[in-house]
Amino acid sequence: MPLVEVTHAPGVAESKLREVGSVLPHLVSKAVERPEEPYEGPLQPGDVEIRFRRLGPLDRSGLKVVIEVRSKWFESRAANRQERVDRLHQDVRTATGLRDFGVYLSLPSAAWSQGD
């Protein structure tokens, strides 16, 4: 289950953030799929969690938007992580027209549990 944090400058329009939020679940799922768990959709609750955070007065960023994706480390994901993050960046740009943004893919050793 990927966790996604979208940090944005105060001047980014809410409509653009909503657009980003609407395409990220699908695009992130494609970016982190692996042979053992191919992304076949449709997504279920808890499959991708997205949080938006506006930069505060003390934050420093050279980009208007930074999308940070954290998903559990698997060898098949780690082997081509740069290709995955490059493809995700291009897919977000194509789907939303967003410019001046970055994508960070982190693959920590992690575990997840979700109740019914």
Q: Beta-carbon neighbour count of residue 13 at 10 Å?
A: 9
Which tens digits make up the pLDDT trace of 50-82?
999 999 999 999 999 999 999 999 999 999 999
Residues 6+ apart with CB under 8 A from 5: 50, 51, 52, 53, 67, 68, 70
Q: What is the pTM of this model?
A: 0.91
Angle between helices 14-32 and 81-96 (to 10 degrees): 150
Digitized pLDDT (tens) for each residue of the chain, 116 residues in all: 799 999 999 999 999 999 999 999 999 999 999 988 888 878 877 789 999 999 999 999 999 999 999 999 999 999 999 999 999 999 999 999 999 999 999 998 877 777 76
**Domains, the chain:** 3-106 (3.30.429.10)
User: Percentage of the chain surpassing pLDDT 90?
Assistant: 78
